[in-house]
């Protein structure tokens, strides 16, 4: 096909007899190709989509009674766990060296890690049956002691072998005096049984269960040595 003259505006060329003839020859082909091209584009887009897989931590199913009259006469209020924005979202985090972090795109948590850990601790504390009541702290709930936590690490750690790191800290404040009367720090690297994401999730779950167990036992020791009056 002859090119449009170099010194003529394209709109003038289209309106010329030659231009109209050239366009008219190819316009039916372009019209027939349009739906085909659109269909190919839509199918390619659908084929590129990947399903997102979600994971969650193991939460005790039997949390015991919420209120127990025969237990230690204190009501514990469990506050939220403070953490970085990475652990307030649902992405699974991995460490790429000592300073760089990344997240998996199609492997995610069912809930943000900080919220899942709070739920595990809440149910474990209730399951002990040692306290009159354990509640999530809200403005309309009264209690004797308030527990709050901070989550520092909840990630896959790359190295000689795959492992997971959980680092968290909890403290308890006496609501009558305002004094901090107890704290517990936990950090541990739990080896993973494989390099795939399910193995990493299983190792993180085991790590959290161990850490929460330590927290619950440490609280029991505190109240055993500081009987509530």
Element spanning 160, H or E = none
In whole angstroms, give the CA distance from residue 25 to residue 217: 84
Average pLDDT (51-69) is: 81
Q: Looking at residue 67, what DSSP letter applies?
A: B
Q: 217 or 22: whose pLDDT is higher?
A: 217
- Band the pLDDT of 222: cuts 50, 70, 90: very high
Instruction: Give the pLDDT score at 63.
Output: 62
Question: Is beta strand 72-83 parallel, antiparallel or unpaired with respect to 53-55?
Answer: unpaired
Phi-psi group of 36: left, alpha or beta (phi > 0 → left; psi -120 to 50 → alpha; rest → beta): alpha
Residue 12 CB-half CA count within 13 A:
6
Tally Cβ neighbours within 10 Å of residue 61.
7
Half-sphere exposure of 117 (CA within 13 A, CB side): 34
CB 70 within 8 A of CB 130: no
CA distances from 51 to 35, 46, 48, 54, 168 (A): 28, 11, 10, 10, 32
pLDDT in tens, 19-34: 445 444 444 444 444 4
For the chain, state the CA radius of gyration. 31
pLDDT digits (tens, 9 = 90+) for 157-208: 987 788 999 999 999 999 999 999 999 999 999 999 998 999 999 999 999 9
Cα–Cα distance for residue pair 124/57, rounded to 1 Å:
13
> Element (H or E) spanning 102, and its range?
strand 101-109
């Amino acid at each position: 096909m002859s090119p449009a003259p170099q010194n003529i505006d394209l709109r003038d060329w289209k309106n010329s007899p030659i231009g109209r003839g050239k366009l008219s020859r190819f316009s039916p082909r372009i019209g027939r190709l349009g739906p085909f091209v659109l269909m190919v584009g839509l199918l390619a887009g659908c084929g590129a989509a990947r399903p997102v897989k979600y994971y969650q931590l193991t939460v005790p199913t039997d949390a015991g009674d919420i209120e127990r009259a025969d237990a230690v006469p204190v009501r514990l209020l469990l506050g939220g766990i403070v953490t970085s924005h990475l652990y307030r979202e649902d992405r699974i985090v991995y460490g790429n060296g000592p300073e760089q972090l990344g997240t998996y795109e199609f492997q995610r948590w069912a809930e943000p890690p900080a919220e899942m850990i709070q739920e595990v601790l809440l149910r474990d504390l209730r399951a002990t049956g040692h306290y009159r009541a354990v509640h999530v702290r809200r403005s309309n709930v009264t209690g004797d002691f308030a527990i709050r936590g901070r989550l520092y690490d909840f990630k896959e750690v790359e190295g000689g072998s795959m492992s997971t790191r959980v680092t968290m800290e909890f403290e308890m404040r006496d609501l009558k005096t305002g004094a901090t009367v107890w704290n517990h720090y936990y950090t541990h690297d739990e080896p993973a049984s494989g390099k795939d994401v399910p193995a990493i999730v299983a190792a993180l779950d085991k790590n959290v269960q161990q850490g929460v167990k330590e927290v619950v036992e440490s609280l029991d020791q505190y109240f055993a040595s500081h009987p509530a009056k």
